[in-house]
Amino acid sequence: PAFVIYHDDFNAILGENPDLKIAYEDKFPFAHGAGIYIPRKDTVFVTSRPLVMSGKLEKEVKINKLVREAAGTWRRDEVLTLAVLVTGGTNYGDHLVFCSQGDYRDLGGLVHMDADYPHRSSVMLNNYLGRRFNSLYDVAVHSDGSLWFTDPIYGFEQGLRRRPELPNQVYRFDPRSGDVRVVADGLGRPKGICFSPREKTLYISDNDALHGDGSIDQMRAATIYAYDMLDKNGAKWPINRRVFAMPDTGVPDAIACDAHGNVYAACGDGLNVWNPGGSLLGKVLIPGGISGFCFGKPGELFLLNEVRFWLVAVAEGVVGA
């Protein structure tokens, strides 16, 4: 593990005494996706890698919550849910919204979950005008209350879902009106999604280079795209798609912005950070890379490395957008 500086501005993110340590580890790959910090609970919700559990015939994903105890140690508790094959998620008010891939029987979709025990959950959306989604992966919340989410083909490629009924696309859902619409297409395998601090820019990571069987096609996109957000006719539209950044190792999985507009991505060598202009500022190198991360308290980042949950201490001014 190490910090690598590509630009002097990365020092302002790291602060005077950056630190990197394993906060919790286990033999079970509990820390694969999501990464949702609930400040009032000082708890991080994560999702496991899909696995066939002992005594089972089909793959499952476990939702876990990592609770910081008074002594500063962390405890992992499993969260029981009816949501099937959960992947990414985000804060939704004081609670959470997860992406459920679904399976041959379950439609999957957006699932609301209470942050408080017993973590009641309910399905918010499970189809696009009667057609099944592919396998939802990640979701971001706009300040107008709408949910923007990615829907790649991975579930079908991994033998978990039926043949796709829709292209690989990005959608917007308004829970108040029920309106659901396609907002971005022409992507290979859209995965991560986030907004800039003032919501002037939408970022989407395309993992087309990574196939469902784990193979890599270097000739396909492993790219973060940026879109300008346009207000027109009472609706918000992402326009002017452009290449924002491409990591040098692996694919950019989960993405998020800090309050200054810097863009963070989970990559094959760890956490990569770019400024709003697309210049690589630096990296937090983690053996084996990371598949997810989230911001915690001011000056904290949590990195998901399958069997390890890393805590990164940086400058106190670093907070999520």
| CB crowding 10-46: b at 16 or more within 10 Å, else e | beebbeeebebeebbbeebbbbbbbbbbbeeeebbbb
Using the predicted structure, report yes or no on whether residue 125 has a pLDDT greater than 80.
Answer: yes
- In a domain, residue 311? The reply is no
Per the prediction, the chain carries an average pLDDT of 95
Q: What is the mean pLDDT of residues 1-28?
A: 96
Read off the pLDDT band of 203 (50, 70, 90): very high
* Residue 139 pLDDT: 98
- In a domain, residue 117? The reply is no
For residue 147, the SS3 value is strand
Using the predicted structure, report yes or no on whether residue 23 has a pLDDT greater than 90.
Answer: yes
Q: What is the mean pLDDT of residues 203-221?
A: 92
Report pLDDT digits (tens) over 247-258.
999 999 999 999
Q: What is the mean pLDDT of residues 156-169?
A: 92
- In a domain, residue 197? The reply is yes
- In a domain, residue 283? The reply is yes
Report pLDDT digits (tens) over 4-16.
999 999 999 999 9
- In a domain, residue 51? The reply is no
* Residue 50 pLDDT: 86
- Check: CB of residue 95 under 8 Å from CB of residue 111: no
Q: What is the mean pLDDT of residues 107-119?
A: 95
Residues with Cβ within 8 Å of 232's Cβ and at least 6 positions away in sequence, in order, are none
Q: Kindly state the helix (H) or strand (E) to which residue 204 belongs, with its residue range.
A: strand 201-206
- In a domain, residue 68? The reply is no
- In a domain, residue 76? The reply is no
Nearest Cα to Cα of residue 76 among 44, 53, 113: 44
Using the predicted structure, report yes or no on whether residue 56 has a pLDDT greater than 90.
Answer: no
Using the predicted structure, report yes or no on whether residue 53 has a pLDDT greater than 80.
Answer: no
Nearest Cα to Cα of residue 99 among 121, 76, 73: 121
Using the predicted structure, report yes or no on whether residue 240 has a pLDDT greater than 80.
Answer: yes
Residues with Cβ within 8 Å of 146's Cβ and at least 6 positions away in sequence, in order, are 172, 173, 174, 175, 236
> Terminal CA-to-CA distance of the chain, rounded, Å?
26
Report pLDDT digits (tens) over 126-155.
999 999 999 999 999 999 999 999 999 998
Domain tally, the chain: 1
Using the predicted structure, report yes or no on whether residue 55 has a pLDDT greater than 80.
Answer: no
Q: Kindly state the helix (H) or strand (E) to which residue 156 belongs, with its residue range.
A: helix 154-157
Nearest Cα to Cα of residue 141 among 98, 105, 178, 106: 98
- In a domain, residue 170? The reply is yes
Structural domain of 253: 2-27+102-110+124-304
- The CATH number of whichever domain residue 221 belongs to comes to 2.120.10.30
Nearest Cα to Cα of residue 32 among 74, 60, 72, 1: 60
* Residue 197 pLDDT: 97
* Residue 51 pLDDT: 86
* Residue 82 pLDDT: 84
Residues 173, 31: Cα–Cα separation, whole Å: 27
Using the predicted structure, report yes or no on whether residue 159 has a pLDDT greater than 90.
Answer: no
Q: How many CA within 13 A on the CB side of residue 114?
A: 7
Read off the pLDDT band of 161 (50, 70, 90): confident
